[in-house]
Structure 1
Amino acid sequence: MMISLVLGGIRSGKSRWAEQQFQNKAGLKPVYIATAMPSDEEMEQRIAHHQALRNRSFDTHEFEFSKEQLSEVLLAYTAQNRPILLECMSTWLGWWLCTNKPFEQQLLDIQQQSSDLLASLDAIDGDLVIVSNEVGLGLVSDNAMGRRFADELGRLNQALATKADKVVFISAGLPLVLKES
């Protein structure tokens, strides 16, 4: 069993690197849990690009934010002994911040969902690669939503890194191993 966390910026190569971790592995076909949902034409193009790259290498589970709990989806595939690629924590978290709920309720929802996700990692008995954006290297956002997103994603990434056996930072397509058990 190995839980890996792959961090990087936009177009850093983190998705490609994460997908390569499943090449040449015998056993069940890995499942790709995709958390992005199309919100506009440009996002549809990004999603199509990712779908074309992974092609038939993975069985894809398109996560439905309003109907599913991420922790339950992970545990269901773990029960099948499926290796899992979970992408991306930043899009998953971003949807919680777009719920039209009051700020305090959004934070409670994020904290509960994150807590459930982190607890589910203790039950993972297989390979799991989690992809997330590293947004803490840039400037502090000029708006409350941007600052809230960066703060919550930073907290989630830190908690995931604590649980992970391996943490890799990708920059310009190159991996830098930050943690390896």
Structure 2
Amino acid sequence: MKHFVLGGVRSGKSAYAENWATLREGNVTYIATTKLWTDDDGNVLDEGLLERVELHKQRRPTSWQLIEEPLELAVTLQEVADQYRGTPHTVIVECCALWITNLLCDEPRKDIKQYKNALLEVLLSVDCDVVLVSAEVGLGIMPMNKLAREFSDELGSLNQEIAQKCDKVTFVSAGLPLSLKGE
């Protein structure tokens, strides 16, 4: 089963996706896309993001395999699926919004269309359960700067494409899930 979970910041989407994964049969692999940007001395530039990462780590079961991959999401998802082929397994991808941010900000700049298409192809081909988490960008106003508009456009289109390909889509707001597609 492919399950897409989206919602706003601090909506409870990650906790919902993690809980869903615990109800599946077999082991769980958590693919974290967060990239902690650092200065030349290796100091993390965004302490608030570091705190969020730590909260996620504390909440997850220690038995889950963790893979931190900020860019090569399709390759990593395929490798995990191949590793567990034939056995029940669930993969959590957390989160598509941070992944798009990484693609937009990495130097040299990545071909986002190529990366998105690769992810969508792999998503359809893997035989394990996958739950993807993403931020919903379609409820706010049009951003005023070019990079923010590009982010909204890229993530909005990715969210639509993932939703079309998934068996189940859940929107989470205030910690409450609303089923948009599927059982």
Aligned equivalents of 1:57, 1:143: Cα separation in 2: 42
1:166–1:180 contact (8 Å) kept in structure 2: yes
Deviations 1:37-65 (A, max 9, x none): 21321111111111111141521111143
Output the amino acid matched with 1:177.
Answer: S
1:141 aligns with 2:143: yes
Deviations 1:83-119 (A, max 9, x none): 1000100000001111355xxx65xx11000000001
**1:15 aligned counterpart, secondary structure:** helix
Deviation at 1:26, TM superposition (A): 3.6
1:12–1:171 contact (8 Å) kept in structure 2: yes
Q: Kindly tell me: are residues 168 and 52 of structure 1, through their superposed partners in 2, closer, same or farther at Cα, counting changes over 3 Å?
A: same
1:38–1:47 contact (8 Å) kept in structure 2: no
**Runs of 4+, deviation exceeding 4 Å:** none
Match of 1:45 in 2: 51
Match of 1:16 in 2: 15
TM-score normalised by length of structure 1? 0.89
Match of 2:42 in 1: none
1:77 aligns with 2:77: no
**1:151 aligned counterpart, secondary structure:** helix
Aligned equivalents of 1:115, 1:87: Cα separation in 2: 18
Match of 1:54 in 2: 60
Q: Which runs of 5+ in 1 are unaligned?
A: none
Q: Kindly tell me: are residues 25 and 180 of structure 1, through their superposed partners in 2, closer, same or farther at Cα, counting changes over 3 Å?
A: closer
**2:121 aligned counterpart, secondary structure:** helix
Q: Kindly tell me: are residues 168 and 110 of structure 1, through their superposed partners in 2, closer, same or farther at Cα, counting changes over 3 Å?
A: same
Residue 98 of structure 2: which of 77, 91, 96 is its match? Answer: 91
Match of 1:126 in 2: 128
Q: Pairwise CA RMSD of aligned residues?
A: 1.5
2:101–2:151 contact (8 Å) kept in structure 1: yes
Q: Kindly tell me: are residues 37 and 175 of structure 1, through their superposed partners in 2, closer, same or farther at Cα, counting changes over 3 Å?
A: same
Aligned equivalents of 1:24, 1:152: Cα separation in 2: 31
Deviations 1:104-149 (A, max 9, x none): x65xx11000000001112110210000000110111111111110
1:33 aligns with 2:39: no
2:70–2:102 contact (8 Å) kept in structure 1: no
Deviation at 1:12, TM superposition (A): 0.1
Output the amino acid matched with 1:120.
Answer: V
The number of aligned residues is 171
TM-score normalised by length of structure 2? 0.88
Aligned equivalents of 1:78, 1:30: Cα separation in 2: 11
Q: Which runs of 5+ in 2 are unaligned?
A: 38-45
Residue 153 of structure 2: which of 151, 161, 174 is its match? Answer: 151
